[in-house]
Copies of this chain bind each other. A is one copy, B any other.
C-alpha cells in the first residue's frame, strides 16, 4: 500500500546507519521529530464534495486526501501535520482516452477545474488543488498503464499515459527493449507526467531527456483531441510536441504516449572515479562529455556530498579500505566522486572505457572500478525513502536544482550553496548543504543541491524556514543564468520565477497556447503560469458549442 503521507510503499524503508546519524548531529546538531498526524484525523476534516454527480468520479474522503498533495516539502509538512488546507472535490480514474474526453466535457459543462494526476510525485506543487469557489476534479491516469503497441522495426512503443516507470520497463523488457528513462521518482512517476513536466532521467546521456523520447501520442484538450503523429524529424514549422512538453496540464491531458525505445544493451556497468578536487572532477566530466565519449550517465559530487554519501552509505568497512587506498594515490580530504555509466555493445563498452581511462589521467582521477557504482545502481531509486528515515530523526531534507552553461557552473553553485548554508543564521541554526552535477551536456550541466536542516519548534516555523530558503535561492538561480528547473518542472512553486527566464513575450506566447487549447481556463489553474488571463468565453455561441460536444 502506498504511503498516504510520504513517499512510496509502506513496506519499504531505508534505515539511516548509526554513523550517519552521528555525522548529521556533528554538523547541525541532534534533533527531535515533530509529531505525525494520523489518517483518521484528516478524514474527519475533508469537506463535502461540491461536484455534481458523475459515475466516473470517486468523492470518498480518503481518495481525495491521497490526491491532494505531491512530494514538495510544503506537501510533506502538510501531510505530516494533517493541515492540508484544500482537497480536490473528487477523483476520476479513466481507463480510455474517450473517458478522459468525456470527463473534460463534464468539467466544461459544469464549470469545474481539472487537475491531471500521474504519479503524484511533483516536488513543485503541480497537482495541488487551488482554493477556489469552483469545484476541482482530479483525473488520476493510473488505470491507463498498459503497453498498447510496440513497433520493433521503428522502435516505437505506445503506452497509456498513466504507466509508471516500473510498468514501462517491465512491459518493454519482456520484449527485449528499454525506454531508459530513470528519474529519481521512477517508482511512481508516469510517462504522461514525464512529458507534461519535461522530465530527465539518470541515464539521459545515452537515452536523452523525455523531449527526445517522446515521439507522439494523443492529448485530450477542452477544445478536442490532438493526435501527434510519429515522425522521426521534421522542418514543417513549430513542433506541436514541443508545446505539449512542459504544458503541465494547462493545455489538456496527455492520454497516450508514443516513445522511442532501444533494444536492451549487451553490457552496462557503473564505475566510480575519485579526483583530488572538485575542479579536477568537474573538468574531467566536461572533457568526457565534450569529447562525445559514449557514456550513459555522469555525476560529479562535490567534496561535501562525497563525504556525506560515504558517511550515509552504510558500509563502513569498505569505505575505510577505500579511503586508505585513495590516500596512497594522493586523493584524500577534498576528494570528489565521479560516478559514470557505460551502456552499449561490448565493442562500444570497451571503447568507452578506454577513452575514460585516457581522459581522466591528466585530471589525476583514480578509477575504483564498479564496486561502489553497482551499489549506487542498486539503490538508485531508494533516495526518496531516506527522507522518511531522516524525518523520524527530526531532520528535514529538500533539494533544489537548475542547469547552466559550463562557464557559470562554479558561480551559480557557490551562490546557491552559500545562500542555503547561511539562510538560517538569524535563527542560530545550521544547514547542511551539498551538491552534485548531473545531466551533462556539451554546453553545461545541471546543478543538484541537497540541504538538510532540523525541524523548527512547529510545523509553521519549519515551513517558514523552508520558504525563506526556497524563495531566496530561486531568485539567485534565475538572476544568475540558471533555469528555474532542469528536471522538476514549474508547478506552482516555480511559477513566480518563470517570467525572468522566459521574458514577457515568452510568457504571452505560452499563455496564448493555453488559451488556444483551453479557452475557458479550466485546466490546472495556477500551475506553470500565475493567473493566466483567459478569454473565458461565456457567449451564447460558446455554450451552444459546449452542449453540442457533450451530446
- Cα of A516 to Cα of B247 in the assembled complex, Å: 18
Give the contacting residue for A233; candidates B200, B247, B262, B351; CB below 8 A. B200
Most B C-beta atoms less than 10 A away, residue of A154, A245, A486: A154
Q: Does A451 touch B at the CB level, under 8 Å?
A: no
| Contacts A/B (CB < 8 Å), 24 sampled | A153-B405, A154-B407, A155-B443, A227-B503, A231-B481, A231-B501, A232-B405, A232-B444, A234-B485, A235-B490, A236-B246, A236-B494, A236-B498, A236-B501, A238-B242, A239-B245, A240-B503, A242-B243, A262-B442, A292-B344, A351-B351, A508-B516, A512-B513, A513-B513
Pick out which of these stretches binds chain B: A218-226, A308-316, A319-327, A427-435.
A218-226
Known: A223-B505, A238-B510, A505-B226. A232 touches B445 (CB 8 A): yes
A67 CB → nearest B CB, Å:
22
The interface residues of chain B lying within 8 Å CB-to-CB of A223 are 505, 508
A residues apposed to B, CB below 8 Å: 151, 153-156, 197-200, 206, 209, 215, 221, 223-224, 226-227, 229-240, 242-243, 245-248, 260, 262-263, 286, 290-292, 294, 344-345, 347-348, 350-351, 354-355, 358, 403-408, 439, 441-446, 481-490, 494, 498, 501-506, 508-510, 512-513, 515-517, 528-529
The interface residues of chain B lying within 8 Å CB-to-CB of A153 are 286, 405-407
A251 CB → nearest B CB, Å:
9
- Cα of A153 to Cα of B287 in the assembled complex, Å: 10
Residue of B nearest to A206 (CB): B292
The interface residues of chain B lying within 8 Å CB-to-CB of A404 are 231-232
A290 CB → nearest B CB, Å:
6
Known: A234-B198, A290-B263, A488-B235. A442 touches B245 (CB 8 A): no
Q: State whether B240 touches A444 (Cβ < 8 A).
A: no
Q: State whether B235 touches A199 (Cβ < 8 A).
A: yes
The interface residues of chain B lying within 8 Å CB-to-CB of A200 are 233, 235
Q: State whether A232 touches B199 (Cβ < 8 A).
A: no
The interface residues of chain B lying within 8 Å CB-to-CB of A240 are 502-503, 506, 509-510
The interface residues of chain B lying within 8 Å CB-to-CB of A286 are 153
The interface residues of chain B lying within 8 Å CB-to-CB of A486 are 233-235
The interface residues of chain B lying within 8 Å CB-to-CB of A263 are 290
The interface residues of chain B lying within 8 Å CB-to-CB of A501 are 229, 231, 234, 236
The interface residues of chain B lying within 8 Å CB-to-CB of A351 are 347-348, 350-351
Known: A235-B483, A236-B502, A239-B246. 19 other contacts (CB 8 A): A154-B408, A155-B443, A229-B481, A229-B501, A231-B482, A232-B403, A232-B443, A236-B490, A236-B494, A237-B529, A238-B510, A240-B503, A242-B243, A243-B509, A292-B294, A292-B348, A509-B513, A512-B515, A512-B516
Most B C-beta atoms less than 10 A away, residue of A229, A245, A294: A229
Q: State whether B443 touches A215 (Cβ < 8 A).
A: yes
Most B C-beta atoms less than 10 A away, residue of A234, A354, A358: A234
Q: State whether A235 touches B489 (Cβ < 8 A).
A: yes
Residue of B nearest to A407 (CB): B153
- Cα of A515 to Cα of B445 in the assembled complex, Å: 35
- Cα of A294 to Cα of B291 in the assembled complex, Å: 12
- Cα of A237 to Cα of B528 in the assembled complex, Å: 7
Q: State whether A503 touches B226 (Cβ < 8 A).
A: yes
Known: A246-B238, A505-B517. A231 touches B490 (CB 8 A): no
Q: State whether B483 touches A403 (Cβ < 8 A).
A: no
The interface residues of chain B lying within 8 Å CB-to-CB of A354 are 347
Residue of B nearest to A261 (CB): B442
The interface residues of chain B lying within 8 Å CB-to-CB of A494 are 236
Q: State whether B505 touches A405 (Cβ < 8 A).
A: no
Residue of B nearest to A155 (CB): B442
Name the 3 nearest CB pairs between A and B, nearest first.
A351-B351, A198-B235, A232-B444
The interface residues of chain B lying within 8 Å CB-to-CB of A513 are 238, 509, 512-513
Residue of B nearest to A513 (CB): B509
- Cα of A237 to Cα of B294 in the assembled complex, Å: 29
- Cα of A243 to Cα of B354 in the assembled complex, Å: 41
A93 CB → nearest B CB, Å:
26
- Cα of A163 to Cα of B201 in the assembled complex, Å: 36
Q: State whether B243 touches A405 (Cβ < 8 A).
A: no
